[in-house]
Amino acid sequence: MAQEKDRGGGIVVGGVGGTVLGTMLGLLLAAKPVEAAPPEEKLNFLIEALTALIQVLAEVADGQTTLINLMQQWLAAQGVAPGVEVTVLTPWKAKAPQQIYSNDIRAVGTFLSDTMVNWTEGKRILLKVASSLNQAVNIQVIGNFVDDMNLATNINGALPCPANSNISVGLAWDDWLPFFGVRITTAIAPTAGILNIWAVTQE
């Protein structure tokens, strides 16, 4: 930042080459008397100004070289070879499937998954339903802001899973809740088979 001096219209400039640059700008700002000076004095003035400018540029170049050298030394200390671009990758990785329900349902009613899935740090999530029951069931995904089934709310609508079949349910970004589970309903009591549900979270 420039700061005015009390006389001569000169300024003090901070930073690399500040003293030389301040002197040069002071000369340029006080150039009024030079207009009436003889040609040889004008030439001398221009030579002094250009010399000051060259000094400033040299100091700036030296500063950049020093900075580059320091950065290269730091990278070498971190084990990074010169000229190697440093890139940080954050790959999405799926966790191991988590079984959240396994039961041989033999009644008409509503059943909740054995546990809720922690999705607080997940990006995407998939539910896999595998049924060998001989009757259809409805699968309703539910979610909550805490790990509690009692106050969970529905996420989208219920999906039918026919007898002896499999379905998958993938939740969208807008469906995100910190915890989610499954509510299962039967209209006709199965007499054979088992219902398994897994969740896979990608983080």
Whether residue 182 contacts residue 134, with contact meaning beta carbons closer than 8 Å, is answered with no
CB 183 within 8 A of CB 99: no
The CA-CA-CA angle for residues 141, 146, 152, to 5°, reads 35
pLDDT at 128: 96
**Is 171 in contact with 180 (CB distance < 8 Å)?**
yes
3-state secondary structure (DSSP) of residue 191: coil
CA distances from 124 to 140, 155, 177 (A): 18, 15, 11
Q: How far apart are CA 95 and CA 49, in angstroms?
A: 68
Please name which of 27, 26, 22, 16 lies closest in space to residue 57, comparing C-alpha atoms.
16
Tally DSSP H helices, then E strands, for the chain. 3, 12
Residue 8 vs residues 18, 26, 29, 48, 150: alpha-carbon distances, Å: 18, 7, 8, 17, 81
- Tell me the pTM: 0.56
Cα separation, 26 vs 5, whole angstroms: 10
Q: Specify the pLDDT at position 14.
A: 40
CB 127 within 8 A of CB 141: yes
- CA-based angle 113:115:120, to the nearest 5? 120
pLDDT per residue of the chain (203 residues) written in tens, 0 to 9: 444 444 444 333 344 445 555 555 565 555 555 555 666 676 777 777 777 777 777 776 777 777 777 777 777 776 666 665 545 556 778 888 999 999 999 999 999 999 999 988 878 899 999 999 999 999 999 999 999 998 899 999 999 999 999 999 998 888 889 999 999 999 999 999 999 999 998 87
Is there a contact between 180 and 119 (Cβ–Cβ < 8 Å)? Answer: yes
Confirm if 102 and 131 have CB atoms less than 8 A apart: no
